[in-house]
Amino acid sequence: MSGYSPSEAATRSGFSLDTLRYYEKIGLLSDIGRTSGGRRVFTDDDLGWLVLFRCLRDTGMPIAEMCRYAELARAGEHTAGERHALLRRHAERVEEQMRLLQRQYDHLREKIRFYEGSG
């Protein structure tokens, strides 16, 4: 297993150091290892979680739901059904947002075409 400094983990995940600290503080990230000097060391597994958190955050999942998902995942395999349901509900919200964005994008392109044609 590789070990990454907080700055390396921030760079690889796209999160700021402050966000990494915050995620650890609220329990979204758990059991981050430490060096003998007390510095945090992130593992490949931690980076895997960060990739998931990036996806969930970028698609608008509230922090409370992200925490619930992480809590369920850490609780064990018997929570797989609940985790699946949580992700499905989120995916449905993302799909609705995508439909809205597509309608808004189409409207925007229509306006652009109007101005391009009136020039």
What is the pTM assigned to this prediction? 0.84
pLDDT score recorded for residue 118: 73
Structurally, how many domains does the chain consist of? Answer: 1
The pLDDT of residue 39: 92
Q: In this structure, which amino acid lies at residue 58?
A: D
pLDDT tens per residue across all 119 residues of the chain? 569 999 999 999 999 999 999 999 999 999 999 988 889 999 999 999 999 999 999 999 999 999 999 999 999 999 999 999 999 999 999 999 999 999 999 999 999 999 998 75
Orientation angle between helical segments 44-58 and 6-13, nearest 10 degrees = 40
CATH number at residue 90: 1.10.1660.10
Domain interval for residue 77:
3-118
Amino acid at 34: R
